[in-house]
Amino acid sequence: MISLKESKRSALVSLWFMFLTFPIMVIKVDAIEKTIIWRWENMFYVGFGSFILSIFGRIFFERQKNRREKQLSEKIQQHNLIQILLREPKYLYPLAAAFFLFALTFPHLFSTYQINVMTTALMYVVLGLGLNIVVGVAGLLDLGYVAFYAVGAYSYALLNFHFGMTFWMVLPLGALLAALFGVLLGFPVLRLRGDYLAIVTLAFGEIIRLVMENWNAFSQGPSGISNIPRPGLLGFDLTLNQAITYLYYLMIVMVLITIFVVNRLQNSRLGRAWIALREDEIACQAMGIDKTKTKLTAFALGATWAGLVGVIFAAKTTFINPASFTFLESAIILAIVVLGGMGSILGVILGAIILILLPEYLRALSDYRMLAFGAIMVSMMVFRPQGLISNVRRHYQYRPQKGEQE
């Protein structure tokens, strides 16, 4: 049961939420009639709802504390359904096949708008997996990841505008240019960690955006570049609906390739070096791992996926300008990695789908859409800070053969 002291804390929480949401939930300005409508009943709903949620949250945490005291958490983790699905092929493969079949039939079941939204979600899946290499696996906080995204997009737009190069010609070039910029960013930040690394990467992202916004002769400035051609299919001209469906299937292939490559990287010698770098940089150097090469490789490979998606983004929208590559984009991609689970491939995929699709499907809430979205994010960080699907840490156990002493 909740004590009186805990109830008072929940009441203070509800009062704080009422204060925070007062301008949004209570005050409504009628611009036509030039009047203010006071909706006091909404304050009661917010206060009562936050009080009940706080009470339930405290009960939940109390139960979690009791479980830890009884040392049952390890047994529960061993029987966790998600970990069983991740470890047992007999469960994982049928589930993956079902999702793959649904993905293939998606364009035939839903409207063009839904296909377009899902394509955007798949683009953020690839972006999240790319940033997951840098942040989740290598432990390097990168707040300027959108810069590599912009490099890929402007590579296609400018090479097509000046030299008439096609989508398939620019796709690998965009990835290579983004990787080059990743190495250029990596060199100045080799000795930086934590907050200092975040500040420098944030500045790098803003520098790229401001250069594109002010260098009119090169990037067309804030006006942007329009009429960027969509990718063709064996020389055939596609209608708008066909092009949207084609891009959707292209992103399905891109997601599968990204999952395969990132998974192999995590299990490789390089991936283990990234994990060692994340856990303890000094111990990593003491074990003979080249810190410079490891960091630069993480930045370059992470940027490669951003460059690829940037080229696809330019082809999808057929118009880009610097306003498409603000810090908010980097924040969303980082939120995908943190929400899904640092270092977890499946978690990042789930986090990208939720973070991109949820605002679209909360449009029915109109003015309260972002408020509901923020409340869901806060609840997620409070009740499951390790992310939706935490990364499964590998364990190695020695089992003696017959005749050997244990």
Give per-residue pLDDT as tens, 338-390: 888 887 888 888 888 888 888 777 776 666 666 766 777 777 777 777 777 76
Quote the CA–CA distance of 205 and 182 in Å, as a whole number: 11
Give me the residues paired with residue 77 across strands: none
pLDDT at 367: 64
Question: CB–CB of 366/359 below 8 Å?
Answer: no
Burial of 322 (0-12, 13-18, 19+ CB in 10 A): buried
Phi, psi of 138 (to 5 degrees): -85, -15
For helices 327-340 and 112-131, the axis angle rounded to 10 degrees is 80
Task: Parse the chain into domains and list their residue ranges.
Answer: 4-77, 100-381
Question: CB–CB of 114/248 below 8 Å?
Answer: no
User: Which residues, including other chains, have CB under 8 Å from residue 187's CB and lie 6 or more apart?
Assistant: 296
What six digits make up the tokens of 286?
A: 């003491």
pLDDT at 127: 92
Work out the number of other CB atoms within 10 angstroms of the CB of residue 293: 12
Question: CB–CB of 340/329 below 8 Å?
Answer: no
Quote the CA–CA distance of 21 and 43 in Å, as a whole number: 8
Quote the CA–CA distance of 17 and 26 in Å, as a whole number: 12
Work out the number of other CB atoms within 10 angstroms of the CB of residue 299: 27
pLDDT at 79: 44
Quote the CA–CA distance of 351 and 9 in Å, as a whole number: 31
Phi, psi of 27 (to 5 degrees): -90, 130
The residues of the chain scoring below 70 in pLDDT are: 1-2, 64-92, 235, 364-370, 372-373, 390-406
Question: CB–CB of 323/153 below 8 Å?
Answer: no
Phi, psi of 318 (to 5 degrees): 60, 10
What six digits make up the tokens of 402?
A: 């017959």
User: Which residues, including other chains, have CB under 8 Å from residue 109's CB and lie 6 or more apart?
Assistant: none
The DSSP code for 233 is B
Report the predicted TM-score, pTM, of the whole model to 2 decimal places: 0.76
